[in-house]
Amino acid sequence: MSKSMSNNRIVAVVPAAGNGSRMKCEQPKQYMKIGELTILEHTLNTLISHSKISQVIVAISPTDSIFYTLPVASHPKVIAVQGGDSRAASVLAGLQKLQATDWAMVHDAARPCLSHQDMDKLIDTVFDKQQGGILAVPISDTVKLAYADKTKTIEHSLDRTYLWGAATPQLFKAEELRSCLQKALSEHAIITDEASAIEYCGGHPLLVHGRRDNIKITQPEDLAIATFYLTQQAKNKENV
Ligand SMILES: Nc1ccn([C@@H]2O[C@H](COP(=O)(O)OP(=O)(O)OP(=O)(O)O)[C@@H](O)[C@H]2O)c(=O)n1
Ligand SMILES: C[C@](O)(CO)[C@H](O)COP(=O)(O)O
């Protein structure tokens, strides 16, 4: 199919059904506040306000009592679905709402510092090459491989030249992603991001160099860093 004939409708899928156990707080971490808004609202607002995103599908937990109290839940672009018992299952639940020819842009609820600049870079690269891809950052630390015996000793250091840390969004043809996720889950493969599912089926997604401020809020100390980045981003927007 020529590029002009292909469907370029992009739907965002946001897994937001986790417990945030590593954050060690009372409510799921996506409902912790940064300023006036919850982490999930920061994330959804960035996706909703991007002109190329036609819909945002949010996978929420069956026990979630907060989502529908948020103003963003009634935004015309937003649809909620019931998430699953793993991130991959939640993404798969969201993908059921997409048309086969859509592009699915999967983005963690827990990454509220995403910028339109990074979204544009991912979309432009993937559409230009007509090949799925992910935002990622080259690893900057020295990387050690530990022995598998839990003694916490180093076997050797890895050459980091070709090592990248995967981030989100990750952008794939909806049907390809759906079938790879389904296969990987049914065969109990370890799938921690969408690219892993595509790789499991033999694909080689593109790596798109993203910004380092697009962090995933995972541990308690990440909240202060995300607060700083969001404050800086708001100041930069004011100065434009
Ligand atoms: N069953 C699950 C598990 C996770 N997620 C989502 O996947 C994203 C990335 O996962 P992670 O940061 O690991 O979140 P949690 O699973 O909530 O955290 P933890 O592993 O610390 O419990 C989060 O936005 C989370 O809400 C999901 O939709 N469904
Ligand atoms: C998808 C992801 O954010 C890429 O870094 C990550 O794999 C999610 O990891 P987790 O195992 O759900 O914390």
Q: Is the pLDDT reported for residue 4 higher than 80? A: no
What is the chain's mean pLDDT, rounded?
Answer: 95
| Ligand 1 atom showing the smallest separation from residue 86 Cα | 1
Q: Tell which CATH classification among 3.60.20.10, 1.10.645.10, 3.90.550.10, 3.30.450.40 matches the domain 10-235.
A: 3.90.550.10
Cα atoms in the Cβ-side hemisphere of radius 13 Å centred on 237 = 10
Helices (H), 7-137: 39-48, 87-95, 116-129
Q: Which one has a higher pLDDT value, 6 or 145? A: 145
**pLDDT class of 1 with cuts at 50, 70, 90:** very low
**pLDDT class of 238 with cuts at 50, 70, 90:** confident
Could you count the other beta carbons within 10 Å of the beta carbon of residue 161?
Answer: 7
Ligand 1, pocket residues at CB < 6 Å: 15-22, 29-30, 59, 83-87, 90, 108-110, 216, 218
Across 77-103, average pLDDT: 97
Cα atoms in the Cβ-side hemisphere of radius 13 Å centred on 240 = 6
pTM value is 0.96
Mutate to test the pocket of ligand 1, among 19, 63, 107 (most ligand atoms within 8 A of CB): 19
Q: Where are the domains of the chain?
A: 10-235
Across 130-158, average pLDDT: 96
| Ligand 1 atom showing the smallest separation from residue 21 Cα | 22
Contact 110, 15 (CB under 8 A): no
Could you count the other beta carbons within 10 Å of the beta carbon of residue 117?
Answer: 9
Across 202-213, average pLDDT: 98
Q: Is the pLDDT reported for residue 226 higher than 60? A: yes
